Amino acid sequence: MIDPAALRILDFPDPALRRRADPVPAITDEVRAVAARMIDLMVRAEGIGLAAPQVGVPWRLFVAFVPPSPEDGRAPGDEPETCQAEPEVFINPVLRDFGGELVQFEEGCLSLPDIRGDVRRPDQVTLDALDLAGAPVTRRARGLLSRCWQHEADHLDGVLIIDRMTPMARMKNRSRIRDLERLAAGAR
Ligand code: NI
């Protein structure tokens, strides 16, 4: 059994971030408790998404919350493809039908402190997953919401933004990446 209270966000280069996660076989109380803890950790860290491998749990599950931006005054119901009304849990997610333009935008990651860089991703995507009740959900997203889902789905395959950054962004973050590797080596 996983103790949800003991879960923490792991930093690069923790090997847990590089493993391919396994499908969640059944949605149990343990899965619900881990998801609740992940939402708590994500909100406290002021992130918009968190994947289970980032807390050392090798499951295909992520949580996400892209709230409506206060500037545009839109409610989530007005624009369901661009934001969420509340934090959501997606279990065994599969992305398909990538579409729209390839957009370059700066991303960060809760597992890569002080690293930010441009990543190119398709603007639109469709997500198939199960919710916490085990019901299938299918959602189309664009903009930041689509980007968030693509970033989190990458974590389930051990892929990080430093793998996807433009060469310029990778160069800009090179010394910081090395610092994180040294820090981890020193802690061992
Ligand atoms: Ni991330």
Average pLDDT over residues 119-138: 97
What is the CA(103)–ligand 1 centre distance, in A? 18
CATH architecture label of 4-187: Alpha-Beta Complex (3.90)
The pLDDT of residue 122 is 98
Kindly tell me the sign of the dihedral angle through the C-alpha atoms of 141, 142, 148, 153: positive
Closest CA to 51 of 82, 84, 92: 92
Specify burial of residue 155 (Cβ count, 10 A radius: 0-12, 13-18, 19+).
Answer: buried
What is the CA(127)–ligand 1 centre distance, in A? 18
What is the CA(90)–ligand 1 centre distance, in A? 15
Tracing tokens 């950790």 back to the chain, one arrives at: 41
pLDDT in tens, 30-60: 999 999 999 999 999 999 999 999 999 999 9
H-type helices in the chain, by residue range? 29-44, 143-156, 161-164, 167-172, 174-187
Output the pTM of the full model: 0.95
- Residues tagged active-site: 152
In degrees to the nearest 10, what's the CA dihedral of 26, 30, 36, 41?
A: -110
Distance CA 42, CA 47 (A): 5
Q: What angle do CA 140, 146, 147 make, to 5 degrees?
A: 170
Residue 100 CA neighbour count, 13 Å, CB half: 16
Q: With bands split at pLDDT 50, 70 and 90, how would you rate the model's confidence at 12?
A: very high
What is the CA(186)–ligand 1 centre distance, in A? 23
Q: What angle do CA 73, 78, 83 make, to 5 degrees?
A: 75
The pLDDT of residue 69 is 78
The pLDDT of residue 186 is 86
- Find the length of the chain: 188
The pLDDT of residue 78 is 66
Query: Domain residue spans in the chain?
Result: 4-187
Mention every residue, 6+ apart, whose C-beta is less than 8 A from residue 37.
4, 5, 7, 55
The pLDDT of residue 75 is 66
Protein residues with C-beta less than 5 angstroms from the ion ligand 1? 109
Closest CA to 93 of 142, 130, 53, 57: 130
The pLDDT of residue 68 is 85
What is the CA(160)–ligand 1 centre distance, in A? 7
